[in-house]
Structure formats: structure tokens, C-alpha cells
């Protein structure tokens, strides 16, 4: 452990739920990502500086990366401190795992500065404190793919049971309409009881999606990306959602849906050309509505948080 040593990491955006797998499935993408630099200090305490203009709190107890680092520090005996600088490119409230990227990037960097003493599962557990602060719930379906990379299944959050799945060779088109949806709000509108017939349909789809990923069966992935529980409630928060889905299908995508708690929408395609056409179709819809938006055409990120220097 060398005081004053610093490390720079790239923490990727993540797409949680993968349509049918609410709180249990997620994957990391190559773009967008946050850049974070962490320095180990001899003086205890956590100093956080945001080099972006999102106005996020910098007090450690109010910052998702801060509380994740605090959870990590509670488990070590040596008193250390950290100085963290965050350059966010993943907009908060985008549905692209912005809070997860901050929390995961911070704990991965801290672990490396401390001599790689924690397992990935430990790091997920620390970073989940950030999700609790951001949304009131310690869900791991953004954190786990951000730390492990690729596609992950959270069979259980308590106790943690994370299964890494192969990353299908698929292209990801994302549209991010410039409205903010807070995960806590998007969770508060969900019904707490569901019908057995809907549950059966949903777990059939989740099992089908996992099997489709394992077998690299694009047809099965396509059929399984259906959500009868969450999407009907949440899609009303996303302008033009049904049109986006229809137009994306027409442009050749395998399907997709709300990214995390929205408002971003993602679609999977089996070629880069189709993914480009899908992004264009999404863009056309928001241009017609007159809603500002960003689009990304990217791929699944098998590495998760990456060390830059
Ligand atoms: N599974 C979480 C939700 C992800 O849908 O509320 C939030 O990014």
C-alpha cells in the first residue's frame, strides 16, 4: 500500500433488467462511461470532487461513491483516506446505471490501491450501499455487471449469489430522451402483488432469456424479451415508448425495452448495420416529437470497470 498513489478507472454504463429480469439480470456496455481518479491518503476521510456539471453532492455521506467507499473502509483495520475525482458522462436519472458506475468504479479503484484484498463479490456488496442511497433499495443488477463485466444474473441479493453469463455477440442501440426518471419514483409506481398467470409468463421469459444467452440462440433471446409485469406500469413515464419499440422491430432489432428504470430504451440487434438503423429509427421518433435525446450504438462490455492508469 503506497500513500499518494492514484489510479484512474473507466466505469461503464449498464442496462439492468434486460426487459423481463427485474432486479436479476443486467449487462455492461462500452459506452457511455464515467472516468474516475482515486488517490490513497494517509489522513482518514473521503474527499470527493465532481468534474462534471450534474450538481451531485460531494459530501461522502450523501454521495453514492462516498457511501460505497465508507462501507469498504469499515472492513479494514488500517486507517486510510481517499480523494476521489469523478467525471461523469453517464447522466444521473438516465436508466443507464449512473449511480452504479460511480459506486462500482470507486470500490474497484480502492481495492487496487489497497493491494487487491477483496473479491468481486465483496466489491458488489460495498457498492450496493450506493444503490441504497440512490434508490432506497440495494439492488445489484447494475452494480454486478459494472464490476464483473458482461452479462450477470443475480440469483439472490441477500445473500449475494451472482452468476456470470456469456456475453452474446449482439449490438446495443440506446436512446436517452432528456428527461429524468428517478429510480425510487419508478419503483414506487410498481404493484406489490402480481397474478400467478403473469408470474408464470415472466419466469418462462427469464428462463428463456438465460437459456438463449447460454446457447447463443438469437431467436430465443428475441422471444424471451417480453415483460408483462414492470413495462406496462413504467412505459407511461417514457414518451413515445410503444412507437420506439415498433420502429426498432421494423428496423431489424431482436427487441428490447426500458433500460433499468428508464427513461433510456435499449434494443439488441445481431449486426452493427441493424443496430445503426435501429438507433436512427429511435432518433426519428424523438425528432418528430421534438424531444431532445442522445443515442448510442455500442456492444456488450465484457470487462466491466477498467483501469486506465
Ligand atoms: N432493477 C432496477 C429497477 C434497476 O428497475 O428499478 C434500476 O437501474
Residue 278 maps to which CATH number?
Answer: 3.30.70.890
Residue 78 has pLDDT above 90, yes or no: no
- Please report whether residue 1 resides in a domain: no
| Residue-level pLDDT at 79 | 86
259 and 207, same domain (yes or no): yes
221 and 84, same domain (yes or no): no
Q: Residue 131 catalytic?
A: yes
Arithmetic mean of pLDDT, 107-115? 97
| Residue-level pLDDT at 309 | 75
| Residue-level pLDDT at 168 | 87
**Total structural domains within the chain:** 2
Q: How confident is the model at residue 95 (pLDDT cuts 50, 70, 90)?
A: very high
Q: Residue 83 catalytic?
A: no
Query: Dihedral of CA 60/64/67/72: which sign?
Result: negative
User: Per DSSP, what are the bridge partners of residue 164?
Assistant: 152
Q: What is the atom index within ligand 1 of the atom nearest the CA of 258?
A: 5
123 and 264, same domain (yes or no): no
Residue closest via CA to ligand 1's atom 4 equals 260
175 and 98, same domain (yes or no): no
85 half-sphere exposure, CB direction, 13 A CA radius = 6
Q: Which of 131, 151, 231, 298 is catalytic?
A: 131
pLDDT, tens digit (0-9, with 9 covering 90-100), for 26-42: 999 999 999 999 999 99
Q: Which of 37, 151, 183, 298 is catalytic?
A: 183
For residue 70, give the H/E element and its range.
helix 64-73
Residue range(s) defining the domain that contains residue 209: 171-299
| Residue-level pLDDT at 71 | 97
| Threshold 0.85, pTM exceeds | yes
Arithmetic mean of pLDDT, 153-177? 96
47 and 104, same domain (yes or no): yes
122 and 233, same domain (yes or no): no
Arithmetic mean of pLDDT, 165-193? 95
Question: How many angstroms does the Cα of residue 115 sit away from the middle of ligand 1?
Answer: 32
Q: What is the atom index within ligand 1 of the atom nearest the CA of 95?
A: 8
If you ran DSSP here, which 8-state letter would residue 29 be given? Answer: E
Residue closest via CA to ligand 1's atom 6 equals 261
- pLDDT averaged over every residue in the chain: 96
Ligand 1-lining residues (CB < 6 angstroms): 16-17, 22-23, 97, 139, 141-142, 183, 186-187, 260-261
Amino acid at each position: 500500500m503506497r500513500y499518494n498513489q492514484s489510479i484512474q478507472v473507466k466505469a461503464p454504463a449498464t442496462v439492468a433488467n434486460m426487459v423481463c429480469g427485474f432486479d436479476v439480470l443486467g449487462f455492461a456496455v462500452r459506452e457511455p462511461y464515467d472516468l474516475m481518479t482515486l488517490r490513497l491518503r494517509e489522513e482518514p476521510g473521503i474527499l470527493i470532487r465532481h468534474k462534471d456539471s450534474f450538481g451531485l453532492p460531494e459530501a461522502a455521506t450523501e454521495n453514492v461513491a462516498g457511501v460505497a467507499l465508507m462501507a469498504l473502509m469499515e472492513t479494514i483495520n488500517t486507517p486510510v483516506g481517499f480523494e476521489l475525482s469523478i467525471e461523469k458522462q453517464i447522466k444521473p436519472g438516465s436508466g443507464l446505471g449512473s449511480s452504479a458506475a460511480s459506486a462500482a468504479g470507486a470500490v474497484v479503484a480502492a481495492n487496487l490501491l489497497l493491494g487487491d484484498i477483496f473479491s468481486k463479490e465483496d466489491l458488489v456488496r460495498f457498492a450496493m450501499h450506493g444503490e441504497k442511497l440512490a434508490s432506497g433499495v440495494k439492488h445489484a443488477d447494475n452494480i454486478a455487471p459494472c464490476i464483473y463485466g458482461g452479462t450477470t444474473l443475480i440469483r439472490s441479493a441477500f445473500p449475494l449469489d451472482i452468476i456470470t453469463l456469456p456475453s452474446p455477440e449482439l449490438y446495443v442501440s440506446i436512446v436517452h430522451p432528456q428527461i429524468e426518471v428517478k429510480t425510487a419514483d419508478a419503483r414506487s409506481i410498481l404493484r406489490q402483488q402480481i397474478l400467478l398467470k403473469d408470474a408464470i409468463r415472466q419466469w418462462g421469459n427469464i428462463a428463456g432469456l438465460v437459456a438463449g444467452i447460454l446457447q447463443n440462440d438469437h431467436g430465443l433471446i428475441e422471444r424471451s424479451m417480453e415483460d408483462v409485469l414492470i413495462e406496462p406500469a413504467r412505459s407511461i413515464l417514457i414518451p413515445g415508448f410503444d412507437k420506439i419499440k415498433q420502429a426498432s422491430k421494423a428496423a431489424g432489432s431482436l427487441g428490447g425495452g426500458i433500460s433499468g428504470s428508464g427513461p433510456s430504451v435499449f434494443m439488441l440487434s445481431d449486426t452493427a448495420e441493424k443496430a445503426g438503423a435501429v438507433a436512427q429509427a429511435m432518433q426519428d421518433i424523438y425528432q418528430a416529437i421534438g424531444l431532445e435525446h442522445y443515442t448510442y450504438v455500442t456492444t456488450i462490455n465484457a470487462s466491466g470497470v477498467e483501469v486506465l492508469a
